[in-house]
Amino acid sequence: MIDILLTQPAPAAIDARLQASYTVHRLYEAADREAFLDDVGPRIRGVVTGGAKGLSNALMDRLPALEIIAISGIGTDAVDLVQARRRGVHVTTTPGVLTDDVADMAMGLLIMTLRDLASGDRLVRAGRWGSVAQPLARKVSDIHLGIVGLGRVGHAIARRALSFNMTVHYTDLHEQPTSGYCFVPELIGLARCSDVLVLAASADQGQAIVTEEVLQALGPDGYLINVARGKLVDEPALVAALANGTIAGAGLDVFADEPHVPEALFGMDNVVLQPHRASATEQTRLTMGEIVLKNLQACFSRAPLLGAVTI
Ligand code: 8YV
């Protein structure tokens, strides 16, 4: 059987099917990674990984027989695509199938953050209802929403926003005149005209685009929602902006150095935190896993791949 490497756990049903067709090696269970890679590395022909986890060049170098990196996700920012192409290694993703879940998470975080739902929950559980004055929250309907990245996820967020009577503006590398939404070429300009800025962009360029200046432009009544990548944000600047009132609050599913979250955020009531789980529903993760299985099978039988990434 062909040897494949899993960098992170797969849903049980997908794992069982992988095991039925391949010899599965689990990097995430290896006690001594070096010894493990010395042993199995030369035999590995396929890697199954996540969008955020990807595959470092150092690890790719340990896999001389590698033919495919099957990403269970849409982000390709954690794989060096140039190096993969140089090596003749296919890279595939699972486009389309997680769009709704990620957009739902963006709206969920937006509502949770603006309406202080987590604080309300904590107040009730602590038995403090009735004993303290409850601060009023921020209205969600009718706001100005700024979407950073009008791709599949950005569009799905925009569609949801319209049903909340929000005004949608966006920025992206190029204007999409047929979208019907208002294009703002500069992120700083978008931040200035938005009550809520939501990040739905890819992080392939690798740099932090949400800087201190962008947070200042968003302003003391503005909120940041991030369902894309933590590295899109200058995280220390965000922590400072939340602490000193430069912005009103944030809903974050992603962080610069996962699973590490700046501890300063833990004590902030104006922040809602999630452990990078926007696509983590049973239904979607199974569908993503199906695509991964199909891509492995297609690769090893020299058939056309689904969601092959080209550069
Ligand atoms: C997943 C993601 O959390 O699609 C991506 O790029 O980051 C997420 O959907 C990840 O891929 C887990 O497998």
Mutate to test the pocket of ligand 1, among 71, 81, 279 (most ligand atoms within 8 A of CB): 279
pLDDT at site 205: 85
Give the mean pLDDT of the chain: 97
- Look-up of token digits 């403090």: 128
Residue 294's CB is within 10 A of a number of other CB atoms, namely 17
- Give tens-digit pLDDT for 262-302: 999 999 999 999 999 999 999 999 999 999 999 999 999 99
Q: Which of 229, 277, 282, 302 is catalytic?
A: 229
**Can you name the CATH fold of 2-96+281-300?**
Rossmann fold (3.40.50)
| 68 CA distance to ligand 1 middle (Å) | 18
Tokens of 154: 């950005």
pLDDT band at 310 (very low <50, low <70, confident <90, very high): confident
Q: Whose CA is nearest to atom 9 of ligand 1?
A: 73
Q: So where are the chain's domains?
A: 2-96+281-300, 99-273
pLDDT at site 248: 98
Q: What average pLDDT does range 6-14 have in this prediction?
A: 97
Cβ of residue 307 lying under 6 Å from some atom of ligand 1: no
pLDDT band at 56 (very low <50, low <70, confident <90, very high): very high
Give the nearest ligand 1 atom to 94 CA: 4
Same CATH topology for 2-96+281-300 and 99-273: the answer is: yes
pLDDT at site 186: 97
pLDDT at site 135: 87
Mutate to test the pocket of ligand 1, among 102, 152, 276, 282 (most ligand atoms within 8 A of CB): 276
Q: What average pLDDT does range 44-48 have in this prediction?
A: 98
Q: Which of 25, 62, 169, 276 is catalytic?
A: 276
**Can you name the CATH fold of 99-273?**
Rossmann fold (3.40.50)
Cβ of residue 52 lying under 6 Å from some atom of ligand 1: yes
- pLDDT surpassing 90 at residue 101: yes
277 is catalytic: no
pLDDT at site 162: 98
pLDDT at site 134: 85
- Give tens-digit pLDDT for 180-194: 999 999 999 999 999
Which residue type occupies 273?
A: L
pLDDT at site 258: 96
Low-confidence winner among 97-101, 201-205, 224-228 (lowest mean pLDDT): 201-205
276 is catalytic: yes
Contact call for residues 60 and 81 (beta carbons, < 8 A): no
229 is catalytic: yes
Sign of dihedral through CA atoms 107, 98, 146, 215? Answer: positive
- pLDDT surpassing 90 at residue 215: yes
pLDDT at site 153: 98
| 80 CA distance to ligand 1 middle (Å) | 16
CA distances from 294 to 27, 98, 289 (A): 22, 17, 9
Q: What average pLDDT does range 205-221 have in this prediction?
A: 96
- Look-up of token digits 């319209």: 162
pLDDT at site 206: 83
- Give tens-digit pLDDT for 162-177: 999 999 999 999 999 9
Cβ of residue 105 lying under 6 Å from some atom of ligand 1: no
CA distance 60 to 165: 47
- pLDDT surpassing 90 at residue 76: yes
Q: What average pLDDT does range 121-134 have in this prediction?
A: 93
- pLDDT surpassing 90 at residue 242: yes
Rg (CA), the chain: 21
Identify which of 165, 101, 137 has the alpha carbon closest to the alpha carbon of residue 249.
137
